[in-house]
Structure 1
Amino acid sequence: MSFRLLTILTLLLAAMPAWRAEAAGEPRARARIERVTTPVAVLDDVRVSLEWPTDAPEGRLRLQAGRVDAGELGWRFENVDWQCPLRRVAGGRPGDVRWRCDGALRSAEGGSLRLAVELDGAHTGAVLTGDGGRLALARDARSPARTTLDLRQVPAAWAEALVRQGWAGGQVRGGRLDGEVHIDAPDAAPLQIAGHLAAADLALESDAGDIASAGLGADLRFRMRLSDGATELTLDGALRGGEVLLGAAYLALPDSPVGLGLDAVRAPGGGWDFPRLAWNDGAALVLDGTARLTETLDLAAIDLTAVSADAGVLPARYLSGWLGPAGLSGLSLQGGFEATLSLEHGVLRDAGLVLRTLDVGDSEARFRLDGLDGAIRYSAHAPVRSAFAWRGGALYGMPFDAAAWSLLSGDGRLRLRAPVAFSLLGGRIGFEALMLQPPSVEGRFRMQTELWLEALDIGALAKALDLPAFEGRLEGRIPIVRYADNRIDFDGGLSMDLFGGRVDVAALSIERPFGVAPTVAGDLAITGLDLRALTGVFGFGSIEGRLHGRIDDLRLIDWTATAFDAELHTERAPGVRQRISQRAVQNISSVGDASFVTSLQGQLIGIFDDFGYRAIGISCRLRNEVCRMGGLRSGPSTFTIVEGAGLPRLDVVGHNRDVDWPTLIARLVAVAGGDVEPVFD
């Protein structure tokens, strides 16, 4: 119930002058009208009754309608009932007669409203109150086609039918309206609605929930034209504060006014055309463009230009809806840019980005780009060239130097025109090729590149990632690196010269690389690592020899191992001793639920500093946080980890083949921290 019903009823009263003139002289009058047609609405099964006892100061008026249908405005009501005491009051001039009726207004839709009407031969006025709001209506016989509405703290829900005229799936959830609205409904012309409205705490929502607003303030001037299902709308004004959801876009608007302007046209049964779209948030963001929506409000086409002279507020104010799912909620921007976009039927036609000393950062210090300048241009039809550069940056705290990129587009892809290389970790990283394909109706964003690494310092990498003090060099060539659906796949190998040996990585992939719980999968081959250097880094005790093995089907979730199939063993090498210290023996025993035995009966191994060994071997198959252990030889419940050689001969044997993985990690941490006390068995 709202000003829609008020408009209809007062127009009905204004259209029925006969009973008003004779009412005071009749004790009782009744009328039943099958249909009443007004410029705004059609009323069916209308019943009017008036009881006015002779010489009584007032009568009793009752107006009922079985159905009220204002098709152009979208309002429909059932069983409307208004009762009030009818009085004759003095008019503004001698001899003028004015009638006043004030009473409760009800309908099948419910609500608690009160309607007061005053009318005479020239004027019709009414006031509707309820839900804390007041709506006044005025009509003048000299301009019978015009109705003027004055709103004061009117619940925005009263205007929901008008909202649904332009937005079929729209719902008004809350808010208040102030302003003035003019409704012009000539007999042979389209219905026109124009006015000025100020909204506070406006809450809107689509039936699907993909479009919504909350706490929104607005100061708007509008003009709407409705005719045979067609709609024309012009809207100008400002938004202030509140939150807006538009699909994946989430806007947290400032308290300062943001200028808004649009022209919109909808054909009967069709979608919306927006020949003018304007948005002005000062230095933060200025938008200008056109758009077209389908009947279901899906985006059919858009041409847009966006300019930001101060991009610092954009992540929090406009971009969080996209950044969060991509794992970039901590993105920061400093500087400016200008962007253009042309999209049609889900296909990106053209795009451009002009960078103006733009700095890009991440609150978690995962990446940083400094001083981006130049342009990036994309085309799906005509060849275009562009180039940009950065002054430097960092990846997980590891700095890299300046680089310049030259690009070519023209077939729906963006390609690198010439190789690019820059310094990183004391070495070099280079891109021989690069291809970017923007998202379209056929798929999501895709990237492919050819990458090489040259003499990267693993020690510096370990320090930056807060890892043990590894030493060595990382290098290799990866002929294809693919990114699609938030996943990176590496085709080809990556080699690390580490601890005097080599680690080769194959079948490497990373899911959600910058998102929540990144997942890494791959296979590692280990060749000839110097065990003395390796155990020295971890403080494990001294082991001399060369380590070989594999770690297959490795899977890390949020950088924590959840599955792998690992086997590590020593192999004899010319000129390399195979010795193990007492501390290393003890640590192996502690970690692997093992005990050790010696051929020197009755003597403690504590009197020996180290021992010779023939071979060391250990394996672990991790599934569901349980590590299935194995060694050089494995039985139903035991496995040999160290096979001794010489005197004193010492073997280390594990007694529990199924080990809880978190417990095993805790033991390794204790060993690395030197918290293990010797126990001799």
Structure 2
Amino acid sequence: MSLSILRILLVSVLSAAFWVPAVQARTATADIARIRTGIATLEQVHVRLDWPDTADRGTLQLRVGKLDAPELGYAFRDLSWQCPLQRDGDGGWRCEGELRSGGAKPMRLDIALGTAFTDVVLRQGESRLEVHRQAAAPDDTRIDLMTVPLVWSQALLGRAWTDGRWKTGQLDGRLVVSAPANQPLRVYGPLTLSAAALETPDGSIAAEGLGAQLTLDYRNAAAGQRVDLRGTLRGGELLFGSAYVALPSTPVEWQVEAIGDANGWRLPILRWGDGGTLATQGSATLAPDGSLHALDIEIDSDDLSPVADRYLSGWLGGFGLGELSMTGRMRARVQLDAAGMRGFDAHFDQVAVREPGGKFRFDRLDGELRFSADSPVDSTLRWGSGQLYGLDFGAVELPLHSADGVIALRAPATVEAIGGKLRFDRFQLRPPQGEQGLQANFGLSLDAFDIGKLAQSMGWPAFRGTLSGSIPDARYLDDRLVFAGGLEMRVFDGSVKVSSLAMERPFGVAPTLSADLALDDLDLLSVTEVFDFGSISGRLDGSIRDLRLVDWTATAFDAELYTQRRRGVKQRISQRAVQNISSVGDASFVTSLQGQLIGLFDDFGYRRLGISCRLQNQVCAMGGLESIGKEVAGSGSDTSGFTVIQGAGIPRLNVVGFNRQVDWPTLLERLQAVGSGDLKPVVE
């Protein structure tokens, strides 16, 4: 039951009083086809008064078949109220009884009709709503609310916001409803919300546990509606699409002024004040369906530390950055339209951004970042140091230019990183527009990156060498980063070339990397020494095609590694390396010499060495020299199994594998055990 319905019932009772004959009559009835007021229409109104001749009170019955208050959004059917009607001793009347509406839970309605006033009290449990009117001010009705459920005001909310649905919460306050003839309806006064919760049918907007002290000023005229809400929020949670706000226990000041008509809503005033954490002011317009048409807002934060948790966790969580932390100061202006970003102007002062999982870190971020969808603007952004996936990089200054919806480098920028230099030759970024997501493209070059530092940060063995190369064109679209060109690493006196490099969700959940690698003329002795596998001398070639890493763990590849004879290069394999190969193979790798004989020699000569693995679904399809190709394996390779090592000289040692389907996690465990010395072969 709404606030305004009480006023309507009051009107009907007053009307009935004029229709009912003198109280000496035993029974009186009145049927009224229609009663019109400034805010509602009642139809099929029936009033009955039974009053015994000698009694001091009678029984009043009121039934309303149909009640519509379109301006407030209310429509009721089958209203009934019965109460004992009696004089109040001062020339007025009083009646209290049960009020019912269809199948809804009944309420208690108490109406006092004085000579100069009207008081109405509606109760249900602890909830209490009082309506007070004075004859001297017939256009105004005062409404006092005490622990009133918010769902009682659902129809009024629906008029201003079709999709809004109150779930829980209580309302206290005092409102004045002003409905003068030929003038707009006005509702105004202070309100207190406790434990308020609401949502939309699609769940895109929701609130939970809200506490608020606010002042309402609502006007409804033929030209449209006008709402001014202002006050403080304390605690609770808000959700707007992907934006999640966790309100603090300290007061947050806010104000919204909205003007609505058939073309949508204009919000000329938007204010938010969360102490030194976040202060905003601006304006917006909404389409009739509630979608954003335009937004112009200024943002100021003297302390960014709480901002990520309070205001950005929902948006950041979609990128896998829900634990991001920030410190420092920032002020910005953001301009949006229905298509997306129109302008952005941010100023940073000693800002630090950290992802606790170690994905990235930026320290001492200073300067400006400006974006324009129209006229050109310049800015300069600097940071003192940073880290990306455990790799440190130094200070850099980025000269930027923006126009026509793109922000780009005005000049190349170089940053010291991983013992070498990283140079951005160009960089362009286009923020999301309409249905088109974020786009970026850039070109960069790497000069003398220290492979040892790279390996250390990634937890790899202690490689030595340098990484150089260029990526003339890299493109980011739909959360996928694709690199044109390639990189070349000078390691182990040879080279490893990387091509077809691409990443999905590079900073999100479970990042994925794909690439092709080509190994050329690596010093196999240096490789085996790094992995502590035993010693194998020779030159190693090979490839790793269709490599796919998910969250930096290999899930698929097609690899083949083999030796190529080089003039003047010895090809020897140590006893330990032979035993480790056999141990890793778990008896599926068989040597042509028994353990007793192997133990008599420190190393062995070999003619060729080759192994292949095609990883799919956690299973490695193994192969040897014969699966690598005739030009590599030559003749004489074993066909019943697969030859891993083809011996040379005396004693002649061959290693043959027979298990072509190997469980990949088990194989990794054995390789790690060999490298750490936990898997020890026994030589008899």
Tell me, yes or no, whether TM beats 0.5.
Answer: yes
Distance (Å, rounded) in 2 between the aligned partners of 1:532 and 1:7: 95
Distance (Å, rounded) in 2 between the aligned partners of 1:637 and 1:480: 47
| Counterparts of residues 657-676 of structure 1 (less than 5 Å) | 657-676=660-679
Unaligned segments of structure 1, at least 5 residues: 92-96
* Residue 577 in structure 1 maps to residue 570 in structure 2: yes
8 Å Cα contact 1:359/1:371 also seen in 2: yes
Distance (Å, rounded) in 1 between the aligned partners of 2:618 and 2:639: 20
* Residue 417 in structure 1 maps to residue 410 in structure 2: yes
Distance (Å, rounded) in 2 between the aligned partners of 1:134 and 1:300: 41
Q: Counterpart of 1:604 in 2: which secondary structure? A: helix
Q: Provide Cα deviations, 1:123-150, integer angstroms capped at 9, x if missing partner.
A: 1111111142110001112211111100
8 Å Cα contact 2:592/2:655 also seen in 1: no
The equivalent of 1:179 in structure 2 is 173
Distance (Å, rounded) in 2 between the aligned partners of 1:83 and 1:525: 91
Give the letter aligned to residue 210 of structure 2. L
Distance (Å, rounded) in 2 between the aligned partners of 1:447 and 1:109: 60
Q: Return the offset for 1:58.
A: 1.8
The equivalent of 1:651 in structure 2 is 654
Q: Return the offset for 1:350.
A: 1.4
Q: Counterpart of 1:646 in 2: which secondary structure? A: coil
The equivalent of 1:533 in structure 2 is 526
Distance (Å, rounded) in 2 between the aligned partners of 1:656 and 1:266: 75
* Residue 642 in structure 1 maps to residue 641 in structure 2: no
Q: Counterpart of 1:31 in 2: which secondary structure? A: strand
Q: Counterpart of 2:23 in 1: which secondary structure? A: helix
8 Å Cα contact 1:51/1:61 also seen in 2: yes
Q: Return the offset for 1:4.
A: 3.8
Distance (Å, rounded) in 2 between the aligned partners of 1:664 and 1:178: 68
| Counterparts of residues 418-567 of structure 1 (less than 5 Å) | 418-567=411-560
Distance (Å, rounded) in 2 between the aligned partners of 1:636 and 1:36: 101
Distance 1:155 1:164, change over 3 A: same
Give the % identical residues.
Answer: 47
Q: Return the offset for 1:66.
A: 0.9
Distance (Å, rounded) in 2 between the aligned partners of 1:604 and 1:200: 85
8 Å Cα contact 1:78/1:109 also seen in 2: no
Distance (Å, rounded) in 2 between the aligned partners of 1:243 and 1:603: 73
Q: Provide Cα deviations, 1:217-267, integer angstroms capped at 9, x if missing partner.
A: 111111111123721111211111100111111100111111111211111
Could you tell me the TM-score, scaled by structure 1's length?
0.96
Distance (Å, rounded) in 2 between the aligned partners of 1:568 and 1:453: 27
The equivalent of 1:13 in structure 2 is 13
What's the C-alpha RMSD, in Å, of the aligned pairs?
Answer: 1.7
Q: Provide Cα deviations, 1:286-305, integer angstroms capped at 9, x if missing partner.
A: 11111001111100011111
Distance (Å, rounded) in 1 between the aligned partners of 2:412 and 2:443: 10
Q: Counterpart of 1:492 in 2: which secondary structure? A: strand
Give 1:586's match in structure 2, choosing from 567, 579, 601: 579
Give the letter aligned to residue 330 of structure 1. E
Q: Return the offset for 1:19.
A: 4.8
8 Å Cα contact 1:131/1:155 also seen in 2: no
Give 1:152's match in structure 2, choosing from 126, 146, 152: 146
The equivalent of 2:247 in structure 1 is 253
The equivalent of 2:74 in structure 1 is 75
* Residue 116 in structure 1 maps to residue 119 in structure 2: no
How many residues were matched structurally?
Answer: 673
Give the letter aligned to residue 654 of structure 1. G
The equivalent of 2:29 in structure 1 is 30
Distance 1:402 1:55, change over 3 A: same
Unaligned segments of structure 2, at least 5 residues: 628-637
Could you tell me the TM-score, scaled by structure 2's length?
0.96
* Residue 677 in structure 1 maps to residue 670 in structure 2: no
8 Å Cα contact 1:598/1:648 also seen in 2: no
Q: Provide Cα deviations, 1:432-478, integer angstroms capped at 9, x if missing partner.
A: 10101011015111111111111011101111222211111011010
Distance (Å, rounded) in 1 between the aligned partners of 2:522 and 2:48: 103
| Structure 1 range deviating more: 647-656 or 336-345 | 336-345
Give 1:383's match in structure 2, choosing from 371, 376, 382: 376
The equivalent of 2:194 in structure 1 is 200
Give the letter aligned to residue 71 of structure 2. E
| Counterparts of residues 307-346 of structure 1 (less than 5 Å) | 307-346=300-339
The equivalent of 1:361 in structure 2 is 354
The equivalent of 1:629 in structure 2 is 622
8 Å Cα contact 1:23/1:52 also seen in 2: no
Q: Counterpart of 2:306 in 1: which secondary structure? A: helix
Distance (Å, rounded) in 2 between the aligned partners of 1:516 and 1:167: 36
Distance (Å, rounded) in 1 between the aligned partners of 2:547 and 2:655: 27
Q: Return the offset for 1:398.
A: 2.7
Q: Counterpart of 1:244 in 2: which secondary structure? A: strand
The equivalent of 1:169 in structure 2 is 163
Q: Provide Cα deviations, 1:40-79, integer angstroms capped at 9, x if missing partner.
A: 2101111111111111232111111111101100011111
| Structure 1 range deviating more: 633-642 or 622-631 | 633-642
Distance (Å, rounded) in 2 between the aligned partners of 1:602 and 1:34: 111
